[in-house]
A and B are shown apart, each in its own frame.
Chain A
Amino acid sequence: MHLFNELTNYQAPSKEGYYGEFGGAYIPEMLYGNVETLKTQYLQIMEDPAFKEEVAALLKDYVGRPTPLFYAERLSKEIGTNIYLKREDLCHTGAHKINNTIGQIILAQRLGKKKIIAETGAGQHGVATATVCALKGMECVVYMGEKDIERQAPNVARMKMLGATVVPAASGSKTLKDATNEAIRAWINEPDETHYIIGSVVGPHPYPDMVARFQSVISEETRKQLKEKTGSELPTHVIACVGGGSNAAGAFYHFLNEPTVELVAVEAAGHGVNSGMSAATTQLGTTGILHGSKSIVMQTKDGQVVEPHSISAGLDYPGIGPLHAFLYESKRGTFMSATDEEALDWAFHISEIEGIIPALETAHAFSVLPKINFKPTDVVVVCLSGRGDKDLATYMQAMDLKK
């Protein structure tokens, strides 16, 4: 049913934001003006040389880009192939999320906005948003589920220290899905001066495309760095974890139209895909509409969105971006999953053999390494989306249990 777009260029959705049947802008009329402004202006603004320069300068001097591409020697030996880690954990604030917030804050300035709202789950996107708001002197309000506020106290404190107001989302299940609902409702209620910085490649068109473009710096750098290190710009595999899918979209972006590169997306299986406590959206979901776009959504047979489960708050989301739904459906992407337990094991393992404590989200991406049949000559890039500082409480608990 590819009514909208015979997609041969995976990087570009149709004019109305469709990747095959997925995408679009299923929003109430009250948001039409804001979304239409973004839709008609984002490409123009993003392609303006002065804009590009401003973003590039901040990514370099403030975020610390380019992030290294690191050859993981002990891990490569163990798996029997060549594994490179794209070090997004070394970005300012500790994860890839800031690539997107830097771009969007400057875009918001160009649109004349005075106030920023955002949603957050684990708090990484909230911190990345509060950070750029402090940098640019903009008012910042972050919506966060009541449950997540309890679970992620250090990030709540960071946001407050950065001058943001954290508003508890008390509706529904009180987690990321509901924080997103609240942020969208807040945007409806004060549309003129406010820009909504969505934290992943989800939401109504043009957000999925816009966020993918801001994150695409990951694969842009990877290509250059691979060329230097291996003589070829192309790896055989790129592996990334998927919550909404922004680090994966960024890590895949410049390889999307390279059919020899296998794109591996790793979802959170929670206690196991069929346990009833999972967030493996492509395995458990069906076509649906959530937060303004058509995609794959975890829901009951009656179309009520269900609450997922993952040990990592950043993957604890019942949908995925429409680009990923399309990569899944068209089989351009390989979708795998990792359980809470596997992710925890791999977080410890990577810490021990590479000296890098990864975020719990990222640990899911490592978990699939032993499940793929690599050749010794393969070149595998793992997107190391974030560092594990924010997950220390969970890691400490796990260590206590092991004792």
Chain B
Amino acid sequence: MSRLSELFKQQSQRVLNVYCTAGFPLLNSTLEVMESLQQNGANIIELGMPYSDPLADGEVIQSSGNIALANGMTIETLFEQLAHMRKTIHIPVVLMGYMNPILQYGFEQFCKKAKEVGVDGLILPDLPLYEFEHLYGTSIQQNGLDFVFLVTPETPEERLRKLDSLSTGFLYAVSSSATTGKDKDFSKVAIYLQKLQAMHLKNPVLVGFGIKDKETFDAVSAYSNGAIIGSAYIQALSKGGSIELVTSQFLKGVLN
């Protein structure tokens, strides 16, 4: 059983997935950030691979990516940094990124290497359903990686069921159609999440985009299996200070 399935078998409520950008704030801080997240109560780490043109991301995550790129982060360097991560990291790790750098690295090679270092799954927002089914899905599945599709309040039911059936690990429910880091009207989100609940999907649902603190985490956790926090944590890290201290304070604020 995959690490993600194992996690959701043991914990179906308030699962917290925290996003961080590889190579941010420092080129070699990737593992330190991940260890800190694990240490302070994150259940899943979503590790972003920086890209020059991240279409789905708002300013905060964009700027962390630019800093990471300026620091010299590449996929090759990332895999070197992650080579021994499983000595210290025991929670699931999901890589998030855009197709272009992965194609340049070699898609098949990327999946193989990700599996080899102990990555559990992939989130690739610009890999759509059709291309997943016809071109790239096989490499992902054959290498034993989970793949997480995004769904939005506008995704029609038939398509949503299809995306659920092809996803493994969990399903990523975007709280509303927007880029990352935008504030949300959570009464609308609640209605959407209740609709998802009523569909009895195959996968656990984690909610992302606009989740930033205890209040928003609690609000969406009431109607889902948990949430993904990105921009708010990156913003906290951007302010500087000890990674361990920033992370423990941030996660205390969310989880307590």
Contact = CB atoms under 8 A, between A and B. Distances in A.
Contact of A30 (B56, B100, B103): B56
Interface string B85-110: 00000000000001111111100000
Contacts of A290: 53, 100
A305 B103 CA distance: 12
Contacts of B83: none
Interface string B228-239: 000000000000
A302 interface: yes
Contacts of B131: 24, 26
Contact of A26 (B51, B99, B105): B99
A288 B53 CA distance: 12
A291 B55 CA distance: 8
B177 A30 contact: yes
Interface in A4-26: 4, 16, 24-26
Interface size class of B (residues with CB under 8 A): 35 or more
Contacts, number: 112
Interface string A299-317: 1011111000000000000
A28 B125 contact: yes
Interface stretch (B5-13, B14-22, B146-154, B194-202): B146-154
Interface stretch (B36-44, B69-77, B214-222, B248-256): B69-77
A136 interface: no
Given A301-B104, A305-B52, A185 B152 contact: no
B155 interface: yes
Interface size class of A (residues with CB under 8 A): 35 or more
Contacts of B105: 302-303
A361 B60 CA distance: 36
Contact of A16 (B98, B104, B130, B154): B130
A161 B106 CA distance: 48
B117 to A, nearest CB: 18
B100 A184 contact: no
A191 B75 CA distance: 32
B150 A30 contact: yes
B62 interface: yes
Given A172-B53, A290-B100, A30 B62 contact: no
A177 B52 CA distance: 10
A28 B135 contact: no
A298 to B, nearest CB: 11
B100 A289 contact: yes
A189 B178 CA distance: 4
A62 interface: no
Contacts of B177: 30, 33, 188-189, 191
A29 B174 CA distance: 9
A210 interface: no
B189 to A, nearest CB: 14
A286 B104 contact: yes
A26 B127 contact: yes
A181 interface: yes
21 contacts: A3-B134, A26-B126, A28-B150, A29-B174, A32-B155, A32-B159, A33-B154, A33-B155, A177-B53, A181-B53, A184-B55, A185-B55, A185-B179, A288-B103, A289-B100, A292-B55, A299-B100, A302-B76, A302-B101, A303-B104, A305-B53
Interface of A: 3-4, 16, 24-30, 32-33, 171-172, 177, 181, 184-185, 188-189, 191, 286-292, 297, 299, 301-305
8 closest cross-chain pairs (CB), A and B: A303-B101, A303-B104, A29-B150, A28-B125, A302-B74, A304-B52, A28-B56, A33-B154
